Structure 1
Amino acid sequence: MTETDSIAYDVVVLGAGPVGENVADRTRAAGLSTAVVESELVGGECSYWACMPSKALLRPVIARADARRVPGLRQSVHGPLDAPAVLAHRDYYTSHWKDDGQARWLDGIGADLHRGHGRLTGPRTVTVTGPDGTRRVLTARHAVAVCTGSRAALPGLPGIDEVRPWTSREATSAPAVPGRLVVVGGGVVATEMATVWQALGSKVTMLVRGKGLLARMEPFAGELVAEALSEAGADVRTGTSVESVTRENGTVVVVTDAGDRIEADEILFATGRAPRTDDIGLETVGLEPGSWLDVDDSLRVTGHDWLYAVGDVNQRALLTHQGKYQARIAGAAIAARATGETLLAEAWGAHAATADHAAVPQVVFTDPEAAAVGLSLAEAEQAGHRVRAVDVDLSSVAGAGLYADGYKGRARMVVDLEDEILRGVTLVGPGVGELIHSATVAVAGQVPISRLWHAVPSYPTISEVWLRLLEAYRDN
C-alpha cells in the first residue's frame, strides 16, 4: 500500500447517501471546504436499495388497486401486472445502479469525492483506502460527520448465511419474481415488500412474531393493512416465530415455533436494522465499534466537539426525509460553529433537530396506505400527556367515496387536553400519504384546535377528514 500526503478540509463527511450529500451541500453553501467519502454508490441506500426502487415497484401495484375501485374503469383493468415492465421501471429509477449523475451533483456543489473505505484514525482524521489499495489521509479543521447509515440485521439462526436470505437490498433489486416468498417481520419493509411481490405473482407467506403489523403505529393501521394483504392472497400469520431455516436443493424450508413447515423459493428477513459503524474506526476516538451514536440536538456526538452523527447512525428516526432534515440542521450548526455565528440551539431553532422528538412523519406505501406523524395514543400517554383520541371512519368523507368505491380507512388525531394542540395524527386508507404533510404542519407548528377550525378543507376532497375530526372532538 502507498500513502499520499494528507489533505486538509474544513469538513469531512463519511457517507454519500442523501444525508451525507445534504451535510456537504449545507457546509459548501457556507463556504467551507468539504470532502465526501463513499465506499459504494453516491446516493446511498435510499437511491439504489430502499426508497426509490421500493416506491417504483409499489406505484403500479397501488395504481391498479385504485383503478379497480373506480366505476367505469375497473372493467378495463384485467389480468396480471406486466412484471418485466415493472422491474424495468424500477431499474430506471435506480439509474441501473450507476451513480454518475449523483457524483456529478457533488462535483457541481464543489465538494471533493473520495471513493473508498473511510475510517477514523484519530480526532479529526479520516484515512481512505481506495479500490486500488492506495491510502489517503483527510484531516478536518472543524468537523467530521458520520453519515454511514444502517444495514439490515439478520437474526442469529444457525446456518442462516448458507440459506442466502433476502434482506431489503435483495427484495428491492431482485431481477425476477419468486414463485413463493416467505417474509419474516411485520414492519414497513415487510409489509411493503409483501404488497409488491404478492401483486407481481408471488405466493407470499408473512411470519410476524408480534400481535400484528406496523407495531409502531396505531393498532388499527396494522389491522387494516393485514386485512388487505390477506384479501389479496397473502398468508399473514401473527404470533409466529421462525425456529429454523434451511435451503434444500434450492428450496427454502422454514419451520415455525408451531411446528409448521413452509417451503419457498426465497425468504426475506425484515427484522430490524443495525448501524454501519462497525468498521469506521470509532475505537480510535474512544467510541464502541458497531454502536449507535448518541448526539445532542445539533447532531454532535456526546463528548466530542468535532464529531457529528447524522441520519440512521444516531437511531433517532431511521427515515430518509428525517435524515435529510438532520443533515440540514447539522450542516448549519457546523457552519455556525466554524464561522463564529450565534448557535440557535433552542427548541425549534435553526440548529436544533426538535422535530426528531415531536413531529416525525412516515408513510407506508401499502394498499391501503398508512401514514402517521407525532405520537400515537399509547406513546402520548406513556409520555405523561393528558390526551384524548378522536377517531373518524374515512368512508364518511365525501371525497373518499369519490376517490374509490367501498373506500375503507380510518383517521385518528391525538389531542393534548391541556394545550388543545395535536400530539399526533394517523391516517389509513387509499391516497392518504398525500395528506400527512398537513398533519405534520399542525403537529410541528403546535397549531391550536381553535385555529384549525379556520383551516377550511376543500370540498369534495379526502382532506375534509380534518373537518370531521374537529367536529368529532367538539361534539363528544
Structure 2
Amino acid sequence: MTTENIRTYDVIVIGAGPVGENVADRTTAAGLSTVIVESELVGGECSYWACEPSKALLRPVLLRADAVQVPGLDPAVKGPLDAEAVLAHRNRMSADWKDDGQVEWVKSAGIDLLRGHGRLAGEREVSVETPDGDTVRLRARHAVAVCTGSRAALPPLPGIENLRSWTSREATSAQQLPQRLVIVGAGVVGVEMATAWQALGSRVTLLARESGLMPRMEPFAGELVTERLREAGADVRFNVSVVGAERVDGGEGEVRVTLSDGGEIVADEILFATGRAPRSEDIGLDTVGLKPGDWLATDDSLTVTAVPGNWLYGVGDVNRRALFTHQGKYQARIAGSVIAGRARGEQLDVGRWAPHSSTADLEAVPGVVFTDPEVATVGLTVREAERTGRAVEVVDYEIGHLAGAVQYRPDYRGRARILIDRDRQVVVGATFVGPGVGELLYSATVAITGEVPVERLWHAVPAFPTISEVWLRLLETRRDS
C-alpha cells in the first residue's frame, strides 16, 4: 500500500555524493533547514566506484614503480604485487560498500536524510519514492539543488546490452583479476585502469580511437604514459575502434572483440571508458520545462538558467562544467553561499573570482591522472589557447634534470610546461608529467587563480633538492631563451 505525506524544508538536495553533502552542509550551517535525498549509497560515486577505490588500486602500483628504481630497495620489491591484498585494501577504502559512516556524518551535521528516488515535481517540489513503496512530497521554501552526478556512457554498439561489459564501476570494484582485459577509451579512466590492472597481473589491451592517449592534454603527457604502459607489458593501440563484440557460451564465456582495422581480440572482460553522461534521465526535469537526460546548463552562480525564479541549482558533474569531485565540491561551496545569500535577501557578488561565482570552472580546473608517470594539469593547454585566441608564451623543462627528481627516482622521466599570458604576464596554464608531480599542482593553481605576476614568482624560492625546483628552472629557461 502506498501512502503520501508532505514535508517542507528551506532547501532540498537531490543526491548525497560529495557535492550534495557539501551543498547541504553549507546551507545547514547558514541556518537553513535542509534535507538530502539519496537512492544509492550516501557518499556517492567518488567514495565507492571512482576516486577512493581507483586510487586504492593505483597507490601500491605507483609506490612499487618508484621503489623498484631506488638502490637498496629494488631487490625487495621486484616480485609481483599481491593482487589479493591490493583488492582487500581497495575494499576497506571503499568501506566494503557500506555507507554507515557517511550517514553518521550527515546526521551529525544536522542534515535530514531521506532514502529513495527523488524527482522534481514542479516548482520547488520534489517527489520521493522510498524503498518501502511510500511517496514523500517535499517542498522547498528557497531552493532545490540537483547533485545527481554523472554515469558511464556506453557506445551504440550492437548487442552491448548482452555483453556484460565493465564500466568504471565494475573496473574499480571487481573482486577477481581478469587474465585478459580489453579497455576501450584513451581518457583518464582508461589509462588509470590500464595502469592498475596491468600491474596487478592482467594482460591489458588498451584501444584508443585517437592517435594518442589523453588527447585533451598536452601531447607529451600521453606519449610518456604510453611509453611506460608498453614497458609494463600493456598492448596500446591507436587509431582503432570496436565495431563488434560478443560474449560466447551463452553470454557466460570470453569476449570476442572485432576491431575497425579488421583485427580481433579475445579477452575475459571488456571495459568501456568512453565518456560520461548526466544522471538526469529520471529526475522529473520535464515537470520544470527541461528535457530528461540533458546536462543542466547553469550560470556562474550554479543557477539553472532555463528555469525562472532562481530556485533550481545544478551542481557538480550534472552541469558538465568540470567533471571532477574536487571541482564539484568547489561548486557546492559557491552554490551553498548563493542559496544562503538569496534566502537572506542579500545582493550577490558574481563577478570574476567573486564569492558567488564559480570562475575556477572556466580558468583553473586542476586534475591529476594517477598513472606511471603521473600527469598534473591546470588551466590552458597550447591547443586550448590557440582555439580561444589567447596569445601565450610556452616554456618547457625536463624535470629529470633536477637534483630532486634524481633523488626521487634515478631514472626519472618527466616534463613540465607553463603557459604565460603575453599581455598580462601571468601563468594561465601548467602541465607536469612525472613521478610525484601531483604535489606540484596546488602551487600552479595558486599562481593561476592568484594571477601572480611572473616577476613575483622569482621571489618564491623552492627548497633544494625537491621537484618543486622546477618552477625556478622554468623561469630561468624563459629568461635565457
**Bucket of the pairwise TM-score, normalised by the shorter protein:** over 0.9
Kindly indicate whether the alpha-carbon contact (under 8 Å) linking 1:420 and 1:448 is maintained by their aligned counterparts in 2: yes
Q: Which amino acid aligns with 1:8?
A: T
Deviation at 1:149, TM superposition (A): 0.2
Aligned to 2:134: 134
Note the 1:263-278 alignment, pairs <5 A: 263-278=266-281
Note the 1:229-244 alignment, pairs <5 A: 229-244=229-244
Deviation at 1:343, TM superposition (A): 1.2
**Aligned partner of residue 11 in structure 1, secondary structure:** strand
Aligned mate of 2:265, from 257, 262, 265 = 262
Aligned mate of 2:478, from 459, 473, 476 = 473
Deviation at 1:410, TM superposition (A): 0.2
In 1, Cα distance between the equivalents of 2:78 and 2:290? 57
**Aligned partner of residue 204 in structure 1, secondary structure:** strand
Deviation at 1:380, TM superposition (A): 1.3
- Post-superposition Cα deviations, 1:312-347, rounded to whole Å, max 9, x if no partner, equal 000011000000000000000000000122312111
Deviation at 1:161, TM superposition (A): 1.3
Note the 1:39-188 alignment, pairs <5 A: 39-188=39-188
Aligned to 1:351: 356
Q: Which amino acid aligns with 1:375?
A: L
Deviation at 1:154, TM superposition (A): 0.3
In 1, Cα distance between the equivalents of 2:104 and 2:333? 21
- Post-superposition Cα deviations, 1:326-382, rounded to whole Å, max 9, x if no partner, equal 000000000000012231211111110000000000000000000000010111122
Q: Which amino acid aligns with 2:356?
A: H
Note the 1:393-472 alignment, pairs <5 A: 393-472=398-477
Aligned to 2:325: 320
Note the 1:207-356 alignment, pairs <5 A: 207-249=207-249, 250-304=253-307, 305-356=310-361
Aligned to 2:203: 203
Deviation at 1:5, TM superposition (A): 2.3
In 1, Cα distance between the equivalents of 2:320 and 2:182? 28
Kindly indicate whether the alpha-carbon contact (under 8 Å) linking 2:68 and 2:78 is maintained by their aligned counterparts in 1: no
In 2, Cα distance between the equivalents of 1:180 and 1:5? 52
Q: Which amino acid aligns with 1:37?
A: V
Deviation at 1:38, TM superposition (A): 0.2
Note the 1:29-48 alignment, pairs <5 A: 29-48=29-48
Deviation at 1:206, TM superposition (A): 0.5
Note the 1:183-194 alignment, pairs <5 A: 183-194=183-194
In 2, Cα distance between the equivalents of 1:128 and 1:64? 47
How many residues were matched structurally? 476
In 2, Cα distance between the equivalents of 1:343 and 1:257? 53
Kindly indicate whether the alpha-carbon contact (under 8 Å) linking 1:380 and 1:423 is maintained by their aligned counterparts in 2: no
Deviation at 1:76, TM superposition (A): 1.6
- 2:376 equivalent to 1:371: yes
Kindly indicate whether the alpha-carbon contact (under 8 Å) linking 2:297 and 2:306 is maintained by their aligned counterparts in 1: no
In 2, Cα distance between the equivalents of 1:214 and 1:443? 23
In 2, Cα distance between the equivalents of 1:248 and 1:336? 58
In 2, Cα distance between the equivalents of 1:199 and 1:128? 44
Q: Which amino acid aligns with 1:363?
A: V
Deviation at 1:303, TM superposition (A): 3.2
- Post-superposition Cα deviations, 1:177-229, rounded to whole Å, max 9, x if no partner, equal 10000000000000000000000000000110011101111010001001100
Q: Which amino acid aligns with 2:6?
A: S
Kindly indicate whether the alpha-carbon contact (under 8 Å) linking 2:142 and 2:339 is maintained by their aligned counterparts in 1: yes
Q: Which amino acid aligns with 2:188?
A: V
Q: Which amino acid aligns with 2:40?
A: E
In 2, Cα distance between the equivalents of 1:393 and 1:224? 12
In 2, Cα distance between the equivalents of 1:325 and 1:78? 41
In 2, Cα distance between the equivalents of 1:410 and 1:435? 12
Deviation at 1:28, TM superposition (A): 0.3
In 2, Cα distance between the equivalents of 1:75 and 1:85? 20
Structure 2: runs of 5+ lacking an equivalent: none
**Aligned partner of residue 5 in structure 1, secondary structure:** strand
Structure 1: runs of 5+ lacking an equivalent: none
**Aligned partner of residue 40 in structure 1, secondary structure:** coil
**Aligned partner of residue 413 in structure 1, secondary structure:** strand
**Aligned partner of residue 6 in structure 1, secondary structure:** strand
TM-score, scaled relative to structure 1: 0.99
Q: Which amino acid aligns with 1:209?
A: R
In 2, Cα distance between the equivalents of 1:423 and 1:389? 10
Kindly indicate whether the alpha-carbon contact (under 8 Å) linking 1:329 and 1:352 is maintained by their aligned counterparts in 2: yes
Deviation at 1:71, TM superposition (A): 1.1
In 1, Cα distance between the equivalents of 2:384 and 2:306? 30
Aligned to 2:27: 27
Kindly indicate whether the alpha-carbon contact (under 8 Å) linking 2:24 and 2:336 is maintained by their aligned counterparts in 1: yes
Aligned to 1:12: 12
- Post-superposition Cα deviations, 1:230-254, rounded to whole Å, max 9, x if no partner, equal 0100000010010101001211000
In 1, Cα distance between the equivalents of 2:457 and 2:386? 23
In 2, Cα distance between the equivalents of 1:235 and 1:408? 21
